[in-house]
Amino acid sequence: MKRRDFLKAALGGTALAASAGAEARPNLEPAPEAVGMLFDATLCVGCKACVSACKQVNGMPPEIEGGNAAWDSARDLSGDTLNVIKVYRNGSAAVKDAEVDGFCFEKRSCMHCVDPGCVSVCPCTAMRRDPVTGIVTHHPDVCIGCRNCMVGCPYNVPQFEYDKLFGQIHKCQLCNQAGVERIDKGGMTGCAEACPTGATLFGSRAALLEEAKRRMALKPGDVYPYPRGDVRKPDSFHEKAAPAYKRHIWGEKEAGGTNVLHISAVSFDKLGMPPLGERSAASIAESVQHTIYNYMALPAIALAGLTYVVRRNSGDGDEGGES
């Protein structure tokens, strides 16, 4: 009984230390020159030019399904698909961007979180956030294949090649991985370059957020010149009447924010976005973990407990056998 009391006390002490311990880590701030993309679902016409361009830039084969070798039939992100256009359908699906009896396209690709969960859970720094551009990169040379990143990502982005003997993790690296380096060379992502409507727009996170806020301020029917390519130096514009945007920029605050922002006329829970608070999972987990291990407190307490038990059991006491 005594030992049990001791362990209870030790556990309580740890919890106390955790709550009263070092300050919780706040969400990370966006990288100083954070780049990203703005996906405007109301502009997407579903041409899938971005999907083809992505595969071309990243040298990935089309996914063939059901013997239909004529076209790419990727249904979700995978080891061979870093970007996919999905559809939301309701009822007759007749009206674009309507929640009832309508349809809406949604892009799935890495959101490039400001405070990425995959980086936080990676035990061997195979996932990294670029300190300057904020791009979340994957480095297969140090990856041990634990697939923690797949669990740590709220958007289900990193994908493992289960069908290969030596499978690897694959995810969008904003066309800046070694051998491609489009961003470092002053270019833009393949998908933003190919997009004919500017639904996928490239640029700095700050400029994209500004653009998204401008669109939020539009009244439905206002004619707005939509830029294409890079929002900071668009290669062209096209004029279009603004839709009834939902006043929500996904990625402005969600789980610490993302560098890839989404806006839409259909609410994001219908577009498969997870319910996320403003606090990032990485900051919560790291706060707890780092507090428990603060000043080596937990190991020290555990060691003290163990020492007590061992001494008690191996000492010259007469009731050594009881336990």
Nearest approach, Cβ of residue 235 and other proteins (Å): 7
User: Should residue 119 be labelled a site residue for other proteins when binding is judged by CB under 8 A?
Assistant: no
Stretch that binds other proteins, among 84-92, 114-122, 257-265, 313-321 (CB under 8 A): 84-92
Which residue's CB is nearer to other proteins, number 43 or number 282?
43
In Å, what is the CA distance from 3 to each residue of 10, 35, 308? 10, 56, 9
**Residue from 271, 281, 282, 298 in contact with other proteins (CB under 8 A):** 271
User: Should residue 106 be labelled a site residue for other proteins when binding is judged by CB under 8 A?
Assistant: yes
Specify whether the CB–CB gap between 274 and 130 falls below 8 A: no
**Residue from 7, 14, 96, 312 in contact with other proteins (CB under 8 A):** 96
Q: Coil, helix or strand for 216?
A: helix
Which residue's CB is nearer to other proteins, number 72 or number 115?
72
Q: Coil, helix or strand for 117?
A: helix
Specify whether the CB–CB gap between 262 and 41 falls below 8 A: yes
Stretch that binds other proteins, among 12-20, 33-41, 77-85, 211-219 (CB under 8 A): 77-85
User: Should residue 75 be labelled a site residue for other proteins when binding is judged by CB under 8 A?
Assistant: yes
Nearest approach, Cβ of residue 78 and other proteins (Å): 6
Strand 95-96 with 102-108, pairing: parallel
Which residue's CB is nearer to other proteins, number 183 or number 194?
194
Site residues for other proteins, 147-166, by CB under 8 A, read 156, 159, 162
Stretch that binds other proteins, among 27-35, 88-96, 120-128, 138-146 (CB under 8 A): 88-96
Tell me, what amino acid is at 59? G
Stretch (H or E) spanning 175: none
Burial 234-269 (b: 16+ CB within 10 A, else e): beeeeeeebbebbebbbbbbbbbbbbbbbbbbbebe
**Residue from 23, 141, 239, 322 in contact with other proteins (CB under 8 A):** 239
Nearest approach, Cβ of residue 33 and other proteins (Å): 28
In Å, what is the CA distance from 127 to each residue of 59, 133, 160, 260, 261? 21, 15, 14, 17, 21
User: Should residue 232 be labelled a site residue for other proteins when binding is judged by CB under 8 A?
Assistant: no
Distance between CA 161 and CA 159 in Å, rounded?
A: 7
Binding site residues, other proteins, CB under 8 A: 45-50, 52-53, 70-78, 84-89, 96, 105-106, 156, 159, 162, 194, 196-197, 235-236, 238-240, 270-272
